């Protein structure tokens, strides 16, 4: 994993939060699989916060037709749910390595709580956002600001949610984002939110813990 050293690690409630930095997709994906394979019922749940260099990732149900033109950006077929999306610098990715049975969360509730974490984060900046039943993610004025995808293995999950903060959104036009032709995307910077990656990243981790540990 590039930049494998942890810039900060701290335990909050039952989750361990790791801020990793800019890291290539493939090593991080492998690290998530290794962590999940090795974990036991005693293993602490973790949230990994990071950014990826430019990369398209295509979920297990992903259709090749939704990649319009890669423009030389790597395309990786991965094991999460969902279609194709883009990751790049300036986007916060929060990977959730959780024991969902221990958290007493069903998959649908987990997804809704992930979305709610982003919605409440944006609400703190007076931005109205919402989810969609037919298209998981978070939207502001019909433009997608956060996408999500998960892999469930036994009672464990990995992958997570990606929030656009301050990035080059152009590569989203090279695909049908999440399988939807012409879907518009946005980011916190374009909504007038002044805070940068570090502050928003920490706030996202806090909101995820509030939602996922609720009760």
- CA distances, 170 to each of 2, 52, 113 (Å): 25, 16, 29
Any idea which residues carry the catalytic annotation? 178
Give the model's pLDDT for residue 13.
52
69 within 8 A of 50, measured Cβ to Cβ: no
pLDDT tens-digit profile of 120-149?
A: 999 999 999 999 888 889 999 999 999 999
> What predicted TM-score, i.e. pTM, was given to this entire model?
0.93
- CA distances, 15 to each of 45, 87, 103, 156 (Å): 5, 24, 11, 14
pLDDT tens-digit profile of 94-118?
A: 999 999 999 999 999 999 999 999 9
State whether CATH 3.40.50.150 applies to domain 8-212.
no
Give the model's pLDDT for residue 14.
75
Mean pLDDT of 148-170: 97
Which parts are annotated binding residues for substrate? 80-87, 147-149, 160-162
């Amino acid at each position: 994993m590039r930049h494998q050293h942890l810039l900060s690690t701290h335990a909050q409630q039952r989750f361990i939060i790791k801020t990793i930095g800019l890291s290539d997709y493939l090593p991080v994906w492998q690290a998530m699989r290794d962590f999940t394979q090795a974990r036991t019922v005693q293993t602490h749940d973790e949230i990994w916060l990071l950014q990826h260099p430019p990369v398209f990732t295509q979920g297990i149900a992903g259709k090749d037709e939704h990649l319009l033109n890669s423009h030389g950006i790597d395309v990786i077929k991965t094991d999460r749910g969902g279609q194709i999306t883009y990751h790049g610098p300036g986007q916060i990715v929060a990977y959730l390595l959780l024991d969902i049975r221990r958290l007493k969360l069903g998959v649908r509730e987990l997804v809704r709580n992930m979305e709610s974490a982003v919605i409440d984060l944006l609400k703190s900046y007076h931005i109205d956002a919402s989810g969609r039943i037919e298209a998981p993610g978070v939207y502001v004025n019909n433009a997608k600001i956060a996408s999500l995808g998960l892999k469930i293995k036994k009672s464990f999950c990995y992958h997570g949610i990606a929030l656009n903060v301050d990035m080059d959104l152009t590569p989203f036009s090279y695909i049908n984002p999440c399988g939807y032709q012409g879907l518009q995307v946005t980011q916190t910077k374009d909504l007038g939110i002044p805070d940068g990656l570090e502050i928003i990243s920490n706030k996202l981790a806090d909101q995820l813990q509030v939602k996922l540990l609720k009760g």
